[in-house]
Amino acid sequence: MPLTWKVDHDGRLITTTASGALARKDIADYLAAVVGEGAVGYRVIFDARSADLALSPGDLAAFSQTVKDRKRDDVSDGRIALVVSSEAEREMATYFVDRTDSQRPCRLFRTIEDARAWMDDPLPGDSN
């Protein structure tokens, strides 16, 4: 299975790992499963370092719109951390971030540790 994930309902965080060939249907199925698990609007760490992404710009734009539509301020700040290693992954992830970040904080990272650290830091403007 190209995607595995763990939902932490207490922490309102989904940690996802992609490996092998990853296509549009895999992401669509994952997004549907998130709904089924009651995790819409949770923060996400998405580790794509071991994935072979077979996604078009249209796929990325559609997924960006879906996650923007699912932002829920009553659940979490909705941060999305994308962890990538190759230049090709970085280009695709940048395309996604550029379309998502205006409505859900979204950043690129090279390590899981950096992504987790960002999840724990307050966002600029937070009063907490």
Structure confidence by residue, pLDDT tens digits, 23-42: 889 989 999 999 999 998 89
Q: Rounded to whole angstroms, how far apart are CA atoms 52 and 71?
A: 27
Domains and CATH numbers, the chain: 3-116 (3.30.750.24)
pLDDT at 126: 56
Extract the residue ranges of the chain whose pLDDT is less than 50.
127-128
Alpha helices (runs of H) in the chain, residue ranges in sequence order: 24-36, 57-69, 87-100, 112-120
Report the SS3 class of residue 72: coil
The CB-side HSE value for 20 (13 A sphere, CA atoms) comes to 5
Element (H, E) at 123: none
Asked whether the beta carbons of 89 and 53 are under 8 A apart, the reply is: yes
Q: Is the pTM of this model over 0.75?
A: yes
Residues, the chain, total?
Answer: 128
Distances (CA, A) of 79 to 2, 45, 71: 22, 8, 9
Beta bridge pairs of residue 15: 6, 45
